[in-house]
Amino acid sequence: MGVAATADTQSGDHIAPMVPEKSPLCALPLDSWHRAQGARMVGFAGYEMPIQYEGIMAEHLWTREHAGLFDVSHMGQISFTGTGVDAAIEALIPVSLSTLPVGRQRYSLLLNEAGGILDDLMIARRSDDIYMVVNGATKYDDIAWMKAHLPQDVILNLMEDQALLAVQGPEAVEALSQIVPGVEGLVFMQADAFLWNGHALWISRSGYTGEDGCEISLPASIVTDFADALCALEAVRPIGLGARDSLRLEAGLPLYGHDLTPEISVIGADLGFAILKRRREEGGYIGHERVVADLAGGPPVRRVGLTIEGRLPAREGCPIFAGERQIGHITSGGFAPSVGGPIAMGWIEASLSAAGTALEIEVRGKRIGATVAPMPFVPHRYHRVKN
C-alpha cells in the first residue's frame, strides 16, 4: 500500500479500467491547499499529487523525528454491506473476517485465479459495514474485479466524498490527540469512530512509513480545515510523495505495481503473515492453490532487501547478478536518508535469497556490490499491545 516518488503504479489485472487511460488528471480535495503550502505537483495514479514541499530529505527526516501529514485521498475507500458479506469477502481475499472484531483492521491481498497479486489492501470491521482501502492506481480495476465476483446481495460502495489523510512519526499521535482527544487510546491496527467539530471521522492507528501514526478518513468538505488544524501544531508539517516512498522503502514495505505484481505470489513476496492459519488450511478464496503450492514447495523467486556498496542508488529495473548470471532485478531502490546510503528491494531466485548473500547490481553499465539484507532496514515503531 504505497506510492512511488518517480513513477505511477500500474494496475495488475486485465479488466478495462472505469476511467479512460488518457483522462485528465483529477484534483485532490486538498489541491489548492497543497499549492498554497508551496508543493511541487506531479501526476500520480490519475491525480495531481504533491511530491515535495521543502525537499524530500528534509521531509523524510522530519517524519522520522516528529510528525508528517500525508494526503492519500487518491486511494480507494470502499464499504461493503448486505446479506452474507463476510463469506462473500472471504471468498475473494485470504482474510479471516470471522475473527475480526469491530474496530480492528488487517492487511490483506486481492489475488487472481493463478494466485498472482492484483493489489494489497487494508480491511476493517466497523459497526455497520466492512471498510476497505485499496491502492489509488488500481482502485477502479479492483472494484470491477470484486463486483464481478461478489453475489448480488452484497453492496459495494466507493466512498468518493471521503478524503484520507495520514499523520506519521513519533509525535504524530500526541499531536493528533490535541484536536481529536481519545485517539491516543488506540493501538496498532485498531480503529474507531471519532467526532471533530461535529463531523464523523474514522481513524485507525496505522500507516505505511514504519512509524507510529494514524490514518484519518473524513468528509472531503472539511479536509482543508482539518489539515490547517493539524499543521498549526508545532510537530506537524506536510510531507510529499517523495518522502513517503523513501520512508516505506526503509520500512521494507512493498509498493504495488513495483514490488508486487500478478507475476509474484504471496509467499514469494514474503507476505505469508497476511494469511492466517485457518485460511491457509481451508483455502476457499481465489488463488489459494498457488499459496498452498508455494507453502509446500517454496516459490521460484522471492522479494528481498538489498544493501548497496558506495553511494550510487540502484533504481527499478536494474539487473541483479550472481557471478555472470542474472538472477533477478531491482523493483524499488533509492538513497535512504535514515540509513545513510542506498538500499533496494528486488526479486531474485529463491535459492540465493538468504540474508548475507553477496550479489552484484548493474547500474549505468557498472557492476556494484550488494548484499541480501533482512527487512525492515529501519526498525518499525508501531504502538502495539503490551503483554
* pLDDT score at 18: 35
CATH class for the region spanning 300-387 = mainly beta
Looking at the structure, give the CATH architecture of the domain made up of residues 26-71+161-250.
Answer: 2-Layer Sandwich (3.30)
Reduced to 3 states (helix: H, G, I; strand: E, B; else coil), residue 363 is strand
* pLDDT score at 21: 42
* pLDDT score at 49: 98
| Whether 308 contacts 341, CB under 8 Å | yes
Q: Cα–chain-centroid distance for residue 196?
A: 26
* pLDDT score at 325: 98
* pLDDT score at 385: 81
Q: What's the burial of 168, exposed, middle or buried (CB within 10 Å: 0-12/13-18/19+)?
A: buried
Q: What's the burial of 30, exposed, middle or buried (CB within 10 Å: 0-12/13-18/19+)?
A: buried
Reduced to 3 states (helix: H, G, I; strand: E, B; else coil), residue 262 is coil
Count how many residues are written for the chain.
Answer: 387
pTM: 0.93
* Cell, residue 265: 505470489
Reduced to 3 states (helix: H, G, I; strand: E, B; else coil), residue 153 is coil
How does pLDDT run along the chain (387 residues), one tens digit per residue? Answer: 653 333 322 222 222 223 334 568 999 999 999 999 999 999 999 999 999 999 999 999 999 999 999 999 999 999 999 999 999 999 999 999 989 999 999 999 999 999 999 999 999 999 999 999 999 999 999 999 999 999 999 999 999 999 999 999 999 999 999 999 999 999 999 999 999 999 999 999 999 999 999 999 999 999 999 999 999 999 999 999 999 999 999 999 999 999 999 999 999 999 999 999 999 999 999 999 999 999 999 999 999 999 999 999 999 999 999 999 999 999 999 999 999 999 999 999 999 999 999 999 999 999 999 999 999 999 999 999 875
Running DSSP on this structure, what letter comes out for residue 132?
E
| Whether 38 contacts 32, CB under 8 Å | no
Query: Domain-by-domain residue ranges, the chain?
Result: 26-71+161-250, 300-387
| Whether 140 contacts 74, CB under 8 Å | no
* pLDDT score at 278: 93
**What residues contact 106, with CB distance under 8 A and at least 6 apart?**
95, 96, 100, 122, 123, 124, 189, 274
- Virtual torsion, Cα 14, 20, 24, 25, nearest 10 deg: -30
Reduced to 3 states (helix: H, G, I; strand: E, B; else coil), residue 59 is helix
* pLDDT score at 386: 72
Cα angle vertex 333, ends 291, 13, to 5°?
40
Q: Which helix (H) or strand (E) holds 246?
A: helix 241-250
